[in-house]
Chains A and B, each alone.
Chain A
Amino acid sequence: MTKAITVSGLHKSFGKTQALAGLDLDVEAGEVHGFLGPNGSGKSTTIRVLLGLLHADSGAAQLLGRDPWTDAVELHRRVAYVPGDVTLWRNLSGGEVIDLYGKLRGGLDKSRRTELIDRFELDPTKKGRTYSKGNRQKVALVAAFASDVDLLILDEPTSGLDPLMEEVFQRCVEEERDRGRTILLSSHILSEVEELCDRVSIIRKGRTVESGSLSDLRHLTRTSVTAELTGAPNGLASIPGVHDLAIQQIQNSQGHRVRLQVEADQLNAVLRSLSESGVRSLTSKPPTLEELFLRHYQETA
C-alpha cells in the first residue's frame, strides 16, 4: 500500500525550545489517521512542516511521495488544510474566502460547495469579522471538503463546532474516506477519533510514543474487570500484570466483589483464578481511548 505521509526522525527547534525530537508518522493512503497528543506536544509543528511552512532541522518527511518543502506548491494542489484557529479577512465574505481557497487549490466542486454550505448551515454572505469561531471553522471546512484533493490535513478542526455540526463533520469525513481520500486528523475530541480513525499516532514532547490501529493500542493496555464471586478470591494479587486490585465482601454472604485492571497478556491467568472462586457475574471493559490517552499524557519522561 502506498503511504500518503511518511515522517521519520523529524527534529525542529525554535531557539532553545525543542518542538520535535525525532518524530515518526506513517499515514497510509485512504485511511483516516488520528494524530493525538497533549497541548504543545508538536502536532501543529509537524503539520506545518508537512505543509512546507516550516523547514525541519533534520529527519525525513514525504507527502504523497514528494518533499513538502521543495515541492510545496505542486503538492498543495492535492492537499486541503484546515487550521485549528481560522483567521479570516475582515472585509471578505465567507463565500468569497471559500471560492478563493478553492481556486488557489485548483478546483472546487460547485454542487458539493452548495450542499456543504447547506449542511453546515453557514451563511456565506457574512463578512469575516462577523463570524463566530465555529462559523469561521465552517468556512475553512466547507472550502476543504469541497476541494478536489487527495489529502486533507485537519488540525483540531471541530473545537468550535456545536454537537450537531460535529455530527455533520463526522459524516463528511466518512464520505471523504469513502471517496478514497486520506485524512490526517489532529484532535482532542476522543469520541470523534474513536468514531472516525482507522489508526492513530500519539505523540508526546515531540516524539511518537504509540502508533497503530485502535485495537492494536488497546491490546497493549489494560482491560478493566469487575466480577462478583461466590467465594473468596485467591491469589489474584500474586498474578503479574494485575493492578488497582480492590476486593470487597458482599454483605450477608460469602461472596466478594472484585475490581481490577489487567494487562492483556495476563487476562487468561486472571480469568482462571476468578473461575476457581466461582463467578456469579463478570464484566470486562476494553480500555477507553481516554484511559489510553491519560496513561501516555501523564507518563513522566
Chain B
Amino acid sequence: MTAAAFPARTGVSGSRQLAGTGALLRFNLRRDRVVVPAWVAVTGLLVLSLPGSLKSVYSTPAERADIARQMLTNSSLRATYGPVFNDSLGGLTAWRIGGYAAILAGIMSLVVVVRHTRDEEESGRQELVSSAMVGRRAPLTAALLTALVANSALALLIAGGMAGQGSAGALALGLGIGGVGMVFATLAAIVAQFTDSGRLAKGLTGGLLGAAFVLRAVGDSTTNDGSSPATWISPIGWLENLRPFAAERWWVLTLFAAATLVQGVVAYELAGRRDVGMSFFAARPGPAQGRLGTAGALAWRLQRGSVLGWGLGFFAAGVAFGGITKGAADLVGDNAKTREVIERMGGQSGIEDAFLATMVGMFGMLAALYAVSSVLRLHSEETGQRAEPILANAVGRLRWAAGHLTIAFVGAVVIMLLSGLGLTLGYGAEPGPILAATLVQLPAIWSLGALAVLLHGISPRLSPASWATAGLALALGWIGPALNLPQAVLNVSPFGHLPKLPGGDMAWGPVIVLTAIAATLVAVGLTALRRRDLTT
C-alpha cells in the first residue's frame, strides 16, 4: 500500500466514526421530548421561584444580612446548604437552591446519557441502529449532545430568569448548574462503558453524585468559605466556589470544562475499544444447577444488589452527617427567623436534634425513592416479559408480587436503620432516639411505596406517576420550609405529618393513620393486580 493512500483512508474513517450523529441526535431529542423539557422546567422554575419566596420570608436587607451571618457561622447548616457568600436575593437563592438544582441537573444528565447508550445496547436495539450508516462513536456523541442540549436549555432558563437579580450572577448560576450536569453526563458515559446493564450504570453514577454531595457537605462543615479540599473535589462544590452573585470567580468554569472534556475523551477512548453490547468485564459463567425455588427467592436475587447499594450508601452518608452534627450547636446570635426556619425543618429548639431530625427526614425521603424503585420492579418484570413465564408456573400473582413488595417494604426498614446506625456512630450518641426517629419515617415511606403498588395494580401505564409523587414529596420536604409554605401545602407530602424526631414529641396518630393508609393502598393495589390482564 502506498504511503499516500493511507492517510486519506484514515481521514475518511475518522470522519465516518461520527456518521449518523445528526440523525441520532434528532431521534434522541424526539424520544426525550416529554421527560427532558419537563425536568428542565421543574428544575428551572424551582430556582426561579426562590427570590420571591425568600423575599417574603426575609423582607428587609437587614434581615437578610442577619440570616446570612447566622448561616455562615453554623457548620451544620453550612453542611446542609453550603456557605452564604452574599446576602442579596440572588446570593441567597444560589446558596439555598444551587446545589440541589445541580443534583437535579446531574440526575437528568446521567439518565439521558445511559438511556441513549447502555440501555440501547442492553436491549439489543443498538445492534440494529449500528448496522445502518452509523459510526462507531456516533451513539455516544449523540447521547452527550442530547445531554448538552438539555443542560444548555436549563442554563439558559436560569440565566435568563434570574437576570433580574444581576445578569453576571445569573449567568454564573446557570452555567454552573449546567456545568455540573455535563460533568455527570460524561461521568455516566464512562461508567456505562464498564457496566453491562443500564440500571447498574445509573445506580453507580447516582452513587457518585451522592458522594459529591456528601463531600461538599463535609468540606463545608469544616470551613466557611468553601476552601476545604473535600469541597474542591466535588463538582457540586465547584458551583459553590464559582460564587454566583458574590464577585463571580469565572475561572472556576474552566474546571467544569476540563472535567467534561477529560471524562468525555476517556469515554470516547473506551467506547472505541470495545464491542457493541459488551462491557470490559466479561460475563462469568454461573452455576449449572440452580437453588432458586420460589418467586420470593427470585425477587431477592434480582434486588439484593440494589438493597446492598442503598444500605451501604445510607450507612456511609449517616456516618458523614452524624460527624458534622456536633457543629450544629455552634450557632451564635439569636435570630428569630433562623430559628423559625430551623424549627420548621427540625420541629423543635435543640439545634443538634433539629439537625439530626432534618437528616433523618432527608434519609426518609430518599428511602421513599428506594421503595418506589423496588416496588416498580414489578413493573419492569411485567413489561419486560419476564413475569409471564413465572406466572405460567404454579405461582399466583399475589405470591409473585409479595416477593418484591417484601423487599421494598422490609428493605426500607433495613436501610433506614442503617442510616440511623451511621448517624449514631458519626455523632457518638445513644442509638435509641436516633434509631427510633429513623423508624418513625417508615409510615410515610411505606405510603409512597404503597401508592406505587396501587398504580401498578390498576395499570402498569400509571406506574411512572409514582416517581412524580415521590419527587413531589422530596421537593416539598427540602424546599418547603424555607419558602414558608403553609402547612396545608406541606401536608400534601406524607412526611409533612410525621412527628419531628429526635427531640420532638412522639405522635402516634399520624404514624398509625399513615401505616393504615399504606396497608389499604397495598391491599387495593393487589386486588386490582389480581383482576386485570397481564401486560403482554
Contact = CB atoms under 8 A, between A and B. Distances in A.
B118 to A, nearest CB: 12
Nearest to A44: B536
B390 A104 contact: yes
A259 to B, nearest CB: 44
A81 B534 CA distance: 16
A104 B403 CA distance: 14
B388 A93 contact: no
A85 B122 CA distance: 16
A88 B390 CA distance: 11
Nearest to A50: B392
A243 interface: no
A90 B200 CA distance: 12
Interface string A44-68: 1000100111110000000000000
Interface in B439-473: none
A54 B536 contact: yes
B392 A99 contact: no
Contact of A100 (B283, B293, B532, B533): B293
Nearest to A110: B289
Interface string A151-183: 001000000000000000000000000000000
B288 A100 contact: no
A73 B287 contact: no
Interface stretch (B141-149, B393-401, B474-482): B393-401
Interface string A68-111: 00001110110101010111111111011111110111100000
A98 B386 contact: no
A91 B200 CA distance: 12
What's the interface size class on B, roughly?
Answer: 35 or more
A166 B55 CA distance: 75
Interface string B389-428: 1111111100000000000000000000000000000000
Interface in B277-295: 283-295
B536 A96 contact: no
A158 to B, nearest CB: 17
B392 A96 contact: no
Given A48-B534, A76-B393, A104-B390, A87 B290 contact: no
A106 B385 CA distance: 22
Task: Determine which residue in A87, A90, A92, A104 has the highest number of CB atoms from chain B within 10 A of its CB, and name it.
Answer: A104
A83 B197 contact: no
A76 B395 contact: yes
A67 B302 CA distance: 32
A212 B426 CA distance: 76
Interface residues of A, number: 43
B246 interface: no
A19 B28 CA distance: 33
A232 B524 CA distance: 80
Contact of B290 (A54, A73, A90, A100): A100
Contact of B285 (A52, A88, A126): A126
A133 to B, nearest CB: 10
Nearest to A51: B392
Contacts of B391: 51-53, 72, 76
- Identify the interface centre among B290, B294, B391, B392: most chain A CB within 10 Å of its CB: B392
Interface string B469-505: 0000000000000000000000000000000000000
Contacts of A55: 531-533
B394 A104 contact: yes
Given A93-B286, A125-B288, A53 B536 contact: yes
Nearest to A143: B389
A99 B292 contact: yes
A95 B287 contact: yes
B531 A129 contact: no
Q: Which 3 A-B pairs have the closest CB atoms?
A: A93-B286, A96-B290, A99-B290
Given A81-B393, A129-B196, 11 more contacts: A44-B536, A53-B388, A54-B536, A55-B533, A72-B396, A95-B287, A97-B290, A99-B290, A100-B290, A105-B394, A106-B394
21 contacts: A44-B536, A53-B388, A53-B536, A55-B532, A72-B391, A76-B395, A79-B392, A85-B385, A86-B389, A87-B389, A89-B302, A91-B302, A92-B292, A92-B301, A96-B290, A96-B291, A99-B289, A124-B288, A126-B286, A127-B285, A129-B283
